Amino acid sequence: MIRTIFAEPYTTGIIIGVLFGVLARLSMLQTDYRQYPTYPHGRIIHISLGIIAAGLGSVAVPSLLDKDYTAITFLSLAAQQFRDVRNMERQSLIQLDKMELVPRGVSYIEGIAMVFEGRNYLVIFSSFITTLFAIVTGTIGGIIAGAISLLLANLYKKGKSIEHIADVQVGELRVEGPDLYVDNIYIMNVGLQKSQEVIRDHGMGILLRPKNVNSKSILAHLGQRQAILHDCSTILGIYRDSGEPSIIPLAKLDKDTGTLGVFLIPQLMDEQRAIAAIKRVPVLENAVKLPRESAAMGGKE
């Protein structure tokens, strides 16, 4: 029975392509401190979608080699389905965000939804390339191409993080009367004496100094700031409960230098871990602006 299956034209290539496509999705699927996708059911959903994407990418190759161009139609339908997945993830996270003490924010949510859609396309790419080389050059060639496609998929699965655009260091947290500062950056007015005492005992200040003009525009983005606050609060905890707006974490900008002052009130008072957490916060794609590329700034347009 097994020999009969593998004797069919293209079957070996399709099987190898599906295998490497699924491996690509598994290698890009990680439930970390953000607990998303959830475990186990969220992971099951995304693995199932990865299997479907791998099958589509693999089956498209024999169809095109046989000049059956209806395969393009199936790929376009798959693209529509993956866009629906993106919408589903967006709506789910927006609802879950209402329960967070420090929300992700719409920019972070859109970035997560975009990632889950894009990674399905990387699975299609991996399975398509693997199947193509397996059919054209043989099983060994397909395996080599599949291994290379896995490397490429993992190379493109992750973008830049804060450490690539800013220098992160500890800042001096000061409470002067009702005014809260991180170094010389004004954060907010804290009127309640009890809140001032909580900030003195549990507060922490971090400074993010942008490396160039492009970095300044990224740190100025409100969605990027909210992502920093959310990730730090998730990793280090947050010393507050609902209904305490006077001690909510905030990030404010020094408008002269572009330095971002971050006020945190973590449960775990460890400045070095806070710096490490901020450095690993992803740079949101929809927060990236490139003013240096403008002709007005001497760049190319």
pLDDT of residue 301 exceeding 70, the answer is no
- Cα–Cα nearest to 292, from 211, 205, 232, 198: 211
Helices of type H across 38-156:
41-65, 71-97, 106-137, 139-155
**pLDDT confidence tier of residue 293, bands split at 50, 70 and 90:** low
CA distance 66 to 57: 15
pLDDT in tens, 174-199: 998 888 999 999 999 888 888 888 88
**pLDDT confidence tier of residue 225, bands split at 50, 70 and 90:** very high
Segment holding 189, helix H or strand E? strand 185-189
Question: Could you tell me which residues are beta bridge partners of residue 171?
Answer: 205
- Cα–Cα nearest to 155, from 144, 163, 166, 147: 147
Q: So what's the pLDDT on residue 209?
A: 94
Sheet holding 179-182, edge to edge: 173-176, 179-182, 185-189
Question: What integer is the mean pLDDT of 210-219?
Answer: 90
pLDDT of residue 2 exceeding 70, the answer is no
93, amino acid identity: L
**pLDDT confidence tier of residue 255, bands split at 50, 70 and 90:** confident
Q: So what's the pLDDT on residue 133?
A: 93
- Cα–Cα nearest to 259, from 162, 133, 140, 166: 166
Q: Percent of the chain having pLDDT more than 70?
A: 89
CA distance 143 to 150: 10
Sign (positive or negative) of CA dihedral 280, 88, 116, 35: positive
Which residue has 């972070």 as its token pair?
108
Q: How many H-runs (helices) and E-runs (strands) does the chain carry?
A: 10, 7
**pLDDT confidence tier of residue 63, bands split at 50, 70 and 90:** confident
Count Cβ neighbours within 10 Å for each residue of 64-83 and write b for 16 or more, e otherwise. Answer: ebeeeeebeeebeebeeebe
Q: So what's the pLDDT on residue 7?
A: 52
Those residues with Cβ within 8 angstroms of residue 192's Cβ, 6 or more apart along the chain or in another chain: 246
CA distance 100 to 194: 23
pLDDT in tens, 12-30: 889 999 999 999 988 888 7
Q: How crowded is residue 125: how many other Cβ atoms within 10 Å of its Cβ?
A: 18
Average pLDDT of every residue of the chain: 85
Q: So what's the pLDDT on residue 5?
A: 47
pLDDT of residue 69 exceeding 80, the answer is no
Question: What integer is the mean pLDDT of 244-267?
Answer: 89
